[in-house]
A and B are shown apart, each in its own frame.
Chain A
Amino acid sequence: MGLLEPTREAFALLLQGDPELLQIIWLSLWLSLAAIALISPPSIALGLLLAKRRFPGQRAMVVLVQALLSFPTVVVGLVIYLLLSRRGPLGSFELLFSPSAIVIGYMVIAFPILVVFTVSAVQGADPRVYETARSLGASRIRAGLTILWEVRFGITAAVVNAFGRVVSEVGCAIMVGGNIAGLTRNMPTAIALETSKGDFAQGIALGMVLMALALGINILMALLQGEGGLK
């Protein structure tokens, strides 16, 4: 089997705006954006807290969040599956194999990325930011928000990175979403399914979209870092 024909078909699918393909792309982006929008505020707040405040267990929390970064996503999926399954503690909500289950999984995956990046950005901030804000009469919360504003390029990089991570995530999405056409089938799970069926055209088309997204995200991050470097 040659690669030429499926690639040509993939381009045709993209150029013709194949409805099934567009629906998968739309669902992927929507679920990823929803998860990032929901998990970013608490994760960034926790990152700020871990970076700025000293309290018992703070170091252990940082180590735990860092450890979560290296957790296999399929294990995250398994844990969420067990929690959401009919006999699990959250089974009564009937979320398993729904878009909400995927959003929950994405949130869990994005959480440590957002926290660790925020801790790193805030710890890298000039200590005079907080001191100046406090000395000018800002409350602790306002001074904290001022730090986040001063390191906004680092925070934006965290959000962009987390989005890039979840939009291409497959293990957890298959486990808790079930890869149901029109409901929970997203780009990575569709690629896995179509490839296993020997239908490479749709897989290649979605792969190209994912690669374009990855490239776009990296260009955006490079631009942000360049902008931050102008400080």
Chain B
Amino acid sequence: MSQPLLEVEGVVRRLGGRRVLDGVRLNLARGQCCVLSGDNGSGKTTLLRILSGLEAADAGMLRFQGVQTRLPGYPDDWRLRVVYVHQHPYLFHSSVAGNIAYGLKARGEPRETWRQKVEEAIDWAGVRDVVAVPPQKLSGGEKQRVAMARAKVLSPQLLLLDEPTANLDADGRRRTMELLARLFAEGVSVLIACHDRELIELPGVQRLHLENGKLL
């Protein structure tokens, strides 16, 4: 059996005396889509933030592509392979294309290659018709799709999406679901925290449920 992409063991996160995560353990295979459900405050976002290195855990171990780290340590080069998208994504005060290009530029990608990739990502996300609109003026669904394109263009080995369909109108939700389906089809490894019943019940996804800081 091939080595899992990500192994998580005994992750503990305490906040104000409460164990938000209480010994979480999970394995994620390469190319797998995993949906993490749970009530508000169950620790879904906290777990995703820990996996992306944005938040420190109090204890636990991560093994990513066979490389192990003891939390709260987080190797800096993992940030080039694991990308997290907020529930309400922040788009920088630049253009849509500038936002999508941000990570490529940060990685020192040559101009001629990132321009091509950005153009492809714009089409992938279906945001060609809003490229001239200031990002702050986009709808919630459009922002979500730009943020997904901005993450996907980096070809991450693990994509962490926090409630990608929450607070979207019907059209925004439908188009985001289409993008997610395309991600799954392309074999991108994705871990999604969500409440969305339709997303949780998608065929072929691994389902996990967090309750009182424990993974069921």
In the complex, which residue of chain A has the Cβ closest to the Cβ of B78?
A: A137
CB distance from A153 to the nearest CB of B (A): 10
Tally of chain B residues near chain A (CB < 8 A): 22
> Which residues 134-166 of A have a CB within 8 angstroms of B?
134-139, 142, 146, 149-150
State the CA gap A219–B201 with chains docked (Å): 57
Is the CB–CB distance between B86 and A128 below 8 Å? yes
A136: chain B residues at CB < 8 Å are: 83, 102-103, 106, 150-151, 154
- Inter-chain contacts of A146 with B (CB < 8 A): 92, 102
Distance of A139 Cα from B107 Cα, bound (Å): 9
How far apart are the CA atoms of A131 and B48 in the complex, in Å?
A: 13
- Bound-state CA distance A159–B106 (Å) is 27
* B136 A231 Cβ-Cβ under 8 A: yes
**Alpha-carbon distance between A128 and B92 when the two chains are bound, in angstroms:** 10
Once bound together, how far apart are the Cα atoms of A155 and B103, in whole Å?
Answer: 24
Closest-by-CB residue of A relative to B88 is A128
Chain B residue nearest in CB terms to A152? B93
A residues within 8 A CB of B88? Answer: 128
Q: Do A135 and B107 form a contact, CB below 8 Å, given A128-B90, A129-B90, A150-B93?
A: no
In the bound complex, CA of A134 to CA of B102 (Å): 11
Q: Is B111 an interface residue (CB 8 A)?
A: no
CB-CB < 8 A to A135: which residues of B?
52-54, 79, 83-85
Residues of chain A within 8 A (CB-CB) of B80 are 137
Does B89 reach chain A (CB closer than 8 Å)?
Answer: yes
**Complex contact B90–A126 (CB within 8 A):** yes
Q: Closest chain B residue to A231 by CB distance?
A: B136
Q: Which B-chain residue is minimally distant from A228 (CB atoms)?
A: B93
Q: Which residues of A contact B103 (CB under 8 A)?
A: 136-138
Q: Which of chain A's residues has its CB closest to B160's CB?
A: A135
Q: Which of B9-30 contact A (CB under 8 A)?
A: none
Whether A150 contacts B92 in the complex (CB less than 8 A), given A136-B83, A137-B103, comes out as yes
Give the interface of B toward A (CB within 8 A).
52-54, 79-80, 83-86, 88-90, 92-93, 102-103, 106-107, 136, 150-151, 154
Residue numbers of A with Cβ under 8 A of B are 126, 128-129, 131-139, 142, 146, 149-150, 231
